[in-house]
Amino acid sequence: MEYFLQQLINGLTLGSIFGLIAIGYTMVYGIIGMINFAHGDIFMVGGFIALMSFLILGIAGITWVPLALAIVLVIAMVFTSIYGWTVERVAYRPLRGSFRLAPLISALGMSIFLQNYVQLLQGARSKPLPPVIQGGFVLMESPTGFTVTISYVQIMIIVMTVVLMAAFTTLIQKTSLGRQQRACEQDKVMASLVGVNVDRTISATFVMGAALAAVAGTMYLVRYGVIDFFEGFVVGIKAFTAAVLGGIGSLPGAMLGGLLLGLIEAFWSGYFSVEYKDVAAFGILVLVLIFRPSGLLGKPEIEKV
């Protein structure tokens, strides 16, 4: 029971990170109907920006952890959002009226560019970060000596994910920008006819997704203490899998898919072979797509005629 509870905590932490990235995929798909395959590398860029920010703050003597973490999050979100905006302007906007395969190829090109760009600037080696937040709570201790713990970092990741999910849900449902995004999702031409600036709305969606990816990149760096230029591809593919698993186009589905994927990886690694955790995750995805192609919370697409 104790081991199960520990893996549950680990899975929820990892799933929260997947979910934050998956929201970016599902927001872009919901509005323009295309997958931003450079989004995983935006997550990686956010992690590197956070790493450099921590180092600069350390040199500047800002060592109080809450203040340093808040500053790093703001810096990472701002600069990563600029990358997200650039991806939309370079890889998507010029090709929006082209055939559907063109933006997909362009996004893959941006993904490769970002990987090599970071590799040239930062080097090919993994970049470590010393533990920023240490300590936690002991929840349970078994007679055999195994202790169930939840660290302060894990609590922070889970709480921040819940807060951000609630904030973005409110933004989409209650604000003017959210109404414009929903209008663009339904029909971009009609949205433009009633006064919605479609280009600005799509750019804002990319910026919002990149900001969430920056938070995920910062949390990933603080949690695991390492980042490298290839991390975005691996984590990005898993986050995309989470978005499809939950139902691409659905914000609650993206978070649900992220949590499920994190739990699958954690429990498979804990009870079976860690080398095959990816096989288990993608195997579950295949089963879901066979029996529910629209995902767990997704709605079947209705073809307009």
User: Count of residues for the chain?
Assistant: 305
Determine, yes or no, domain membership for 236: yes
Q: What is the CATH number of the domain that holds 25?
A: 1.10.3470
Is pLDDT above 70 for 303? no
Determine, yes or no, domain membership for 303: no
Determine, yes or no, domain membership for 296: no
- Rounded Cα distance, 12 and 20, in Å: 12
Determine, yes or no, domain membership for 101: yes
- Neighbouring-strand partners of residue 55: none
- Rounded Cα distance, 152 and 139, in Å: 13
Determine, yes or no, domain membership for 99: yes
Output the pLDDT for position 94. Answer: 87
pLDDT in tens, 201-211: 999 999 999 99
Determine, yes or no, domain membership for 186: yes
Of all residues in the chain, what percent carry a pLDDT higher than 70?
A: 98
pLDDT in tens, 68-80: 999 999 999 999 9
pLDDT in tens, 67-118: 999 999 999 999 999 999 999 998 888 887 777 788 888 888 999 999 999 9
Output the pLDDT for position 248. Answer: 82
pTM above 0.85, yes or no: yes
> Which range of residues forms the domain containing residue 145?
2-291
Q: Number of folded domains in the chain? A: 1
CB contact at 8 A, 219 and 152: no
Determine, yes or no, domain membership for 17: yes
3 state DSSP class of 233? helix
Mean pLDDT score of the chain: 88
pLDDT bin (cut points 50, 70, 90) of residue 302 is low
pLDDT in tens, 221-243: 999 999 999 888 888 888 988 99
Place of tokens 């450099």: 52
247: left (phi over 0), alpha (psi -120 to 50) or beta: left
- Rounded Cα distance, 37 and 48, in Å: 19
- Report the 10 Å Cβ neighbour count for 266: 21
3 state DSSP class of 215? helix
- Rounded Cα distance, 78 and 72, in Å: 10
Residue 237: burial class (beta carbons within 10 Å; 0-12, 13-18, 19+)? middle
Closest CA to 257 of 205, 301, 215, 294: 294
Determine, yes or no, domain membership for 299: no
pLDDT in tens, 20-58: 999 988 888 877 777 888 999 999 999 999 999 999 999
Place of tokens 């450079």: 38
pLDDT in tens, 278-301: 888 788 878 888 888 888 887 766
CA pseudo-torsion sign 66, 71, 72, 76: positive
Output the pLDDT for position 272. Answer: 85
- For residue 240, give the DSSP letter: H
Residue 203: burial class (beta carbons within 10 Å; 0-12, 13-18, 19+)? middle
